Chain A
Amino acid sequence: MEDQNMDDGDQNRETEIAPAQIAVHPSQESVSVAVGSDLRVFNLREGLPVKLSDDGHSDSIRAIRYAANGKLFVSAGDDKLVKIWATDSWRCVYNVASEKRVSAVAISNDGLFVCFADKFGVVYVVDTRAFTEETPTSIIKKGVPILSHYCSIITSLEFSPDGRFIITADRDSKIRVTVFPQNSLNGAHEIQSFCLGHTEFVSCLAFVCNQEYPQGFLVSGSGDSTVRLWDFSSGSLLDTCDVGAEAAFADRKEEEGLLPITDLCTVQDGSLVAVAIQSLTGIMLLGCDLSKRNLSVVKVVSIAEETYIPTSIGSASTAELLWMVMGASSLNISDIKSLVRIRVLSGFSKCNAASVETLVLEDKDTPGGEQMLQTLQGKLSVEKEAFSSAAEAVKNSMRNLLIKKQYSAERRDFRKRGRNDIKNKAK
């Protein structure tokens, strides 16, 4: 029994490590980073750190996002609170309570509805028209459940570019495309399609679209180390790119098992897809040819001086920059509590994928410069030794969270012995 407890304890501690998240305002007016329960925002237009007029979160933040029009910002996570912020004042205008831990958030393209998904697979909607300037933030509202994946963690939540569909990805390798109805408060019952093909958990979703294909195509990243391209309206798989194999091919040491994709970011109105891969120091760029409907590796941008493995990436629609963060909370290695390191890649643009000229910016050349880094990282220089430990911790927490546990026969029997119902019978 002693052993069992220790085992579970270890696991809990590791899953509590939250990878740092980054979100960039659509016109790059501000950039936000979440690490642990800490939300840090830097105003790029004025070059100043933002003071949040709220107590913030009390547990790890798992998802942050700006609305497409930049007016709202949403943060949510393990404290079961969804906070909706107005980005002009950075006032938290709304607190929404969730019954379970929140794993993903999205805002409808018209900015009217905030959706969030919990670890039991239920997606909720909140109508933001319901709140006014006078609504005190102390009032905690509830979301209306609209759809559910049967008891599976929802890992990613997106609205399609035309706003007609809400797309959910889960740890059971499913992607579901649901019609987002006019009156979403009555539920989203009509399933347009399922995109099935991944063989492990799906970790992230993004869209590629251009003027020729304004409705766009879906790209998804998964624990099976592939990025896939989908016609999400029919659910058909158009192409599969085994980036795990490509990354290993490029420079990595032989790694046991698959290399899960941790995040995806696409250029608006273009064909580039940035891919963050577990254990890949740097970022992989894929080109997506929409007329041929295929994906191909353009290059790997390595960031070698640090063991830099981004945990989250983002970009603004107006600038040709890819923002990357590597970080984790609750590390507790020696005296390092958490790690946040921002890198910015230039040349992440909509131009022809064949001629991508990218450059990892020096700290002083980043938008906002050292003051931005000071605000978001908490300090300017980050200890080198923190990187590899953070990478390991993030990897373990992702594995514990998303990969199905296989128990040996003995372990299963042992666990059955602890069952409550049987114990009661014996008494």
Chain B
Amino acid sequence: MGHESTVMSTHSKSTGLPRKRFYRARAHSNPLSDSHFPVPIAPSQFDYASHYPQIFGETVETSCQRKIEFADIGCGFGGLLISLATLFPETLMIGMELRDKVTEYVKERILALRTGNPGQYQNISVVRTNSMKYIPNYFEKGQLKKMFFLFPDPHFKEKNHRRRVISTYLLDEYAYALAVGGIIYTITDVEELGEWMKSCLESHPMFEALTSQELEDDPVVKLLTTATEEGQKVARNGGKTYQAIFRRIAQPAH
């Protein structure tokens, strides 16, 4: 009981949502360091029942075919996930975040939303992981329909470029996890990083840019700037954002 009350004090009394100031974390985390958190050995061992209890809880036999289709890499405080949850209520999605306190916050936020809105937000969850290392441990080949990389750490110094979450090498892994036709969304407020991400995607043989018509028709594109905490901050300060949105295409036959 005592434990319960301390947990609740980190939540707002009026909304029941967790309050960010109790989940302060460094803005950066080193993706190169050894990880000591648990990681599923293979995608088949990912614990769907604990992440999506209402969907996988009792009716395991009927629902076990469903798999995660959207992944928000570096989901931060989870703003995008929460907007997508109601926009695509039938789609399972996961946020992946390396900073443990931030992950904890998103977890609490989802739980509070589920409690406050019965039946909703059952399709989203969050996991603490290093997605630069462990994407294949979570997703099978061609499992994902959408991947999001919103306002990633810019890692300005050249010697730290290999820490960037978009690179030619990592795109190979993302292309593996994405189904043909799946879409990768990237956005940043750092011009240099925006150009970097765009050029990585343009030069990769397994991705092609969406046409401007396709971008206009995609309801998700608008969310990139409006749904995330970082996006709102940039908008508040009147900043500019740089998007690169590409489709996974089939590899030409060898």
**A151 CB within 8 Å of chain B:** yes
From 143 to 183 in chain B, residues with beta carbon under 8 angstroms from any chain A beta carbon are 162, 168-173, 175-176
Q: How far is the CB of B142 from chain A (nearest CB, A)?
A: 11
Inter-chain CA distance A107–B132, complex, in Å, is 28
Q: How far is the CB of A164 from chain B (nearest CB, A)?
A: 8
Q: Which bucket holds chain B's interface residue count?
A: 20 to 34
**A190 CB within 8 Å of chain B:** yes
- B42: chain A residues within 8 A (beta carbon): 196-197
From 9 to 61 in chain B, residues with beta carbon under 8 angstroms from any chain A beta carbon are 31-32, 34, 36, 41-43
- B169: chain A residues within 8 A (beta carbon): 122, 147-148, 150
Q: Point out the residue from B137, B162, B205 that lies within 8 Å of A196, measured CB to CB.
A: B137
- B170: chain A residues within 8 A (beta carbon): 150
- A404 to chain B: closest residue by CB: B34
- A147: chain B residues within 8 A (beta carbon): 169, 172
**B254 CB within 8 Å of chain A:** yes
Whether A406 pairs with B36 at a CB distance below 8 angstroms is yes
Whether A191 pairs with B176 at a CB distance below 8 angstroms is yes
Convert A163-207 into 0s and 1s, putting 1 for each residue whose CB lies closer than 8 angstroms to a CB of B. 000000000111010110110001111110110111100000000
Known: A181-B254, A191-B172. A196 touches B136 (CB 8 A): yes
- B45 to chain A: closest residue by CB: A196
**A60 CB within 8 Å of chain B:** no
- A425: chain B residues within 8 A (beta carbon): none
Whether B136 pairs with A194 at a CB distance below 8 angstroms is yes
Q: How far is the CB of B68 from chain A (nearest CB, A)?
A: 16
**A152 CB within 8 Å of chain B:** yes
Whether B132 pairs with A191 at a CB distance below 8 angstroms is no
Whether A190 pairs with B133 at a CB distance below 8 angstroms is no
Whether B36 pairs with A404 at a CB distance below 8 angstroms is yes
Convert A109-139 into 0s and 1s, putting 1 for each residue whose CB lies closer than 8 angstroms to a CB of B. 0000000000010100000000000000000
Partner-B contacts on A (CB < 8 A): 120, 122, 147-148, 150-152, 172-174, 176, 178-179, 181-182, 186-191, 193-194, 196-199, 235, 404-406
Beyond A122-B169, A151-B31, A188-B172, list 16 extra A-B contacts (CB 8 Å): A148-B169, A151-B132, A151-B162, A152-B133, A181-B254, A187-B168, A189-B168, A189-B204, A189-B205, A189-B206, A190-B175, A190-B251, A191-B173, A196-B42, A235-B141, A405-B34
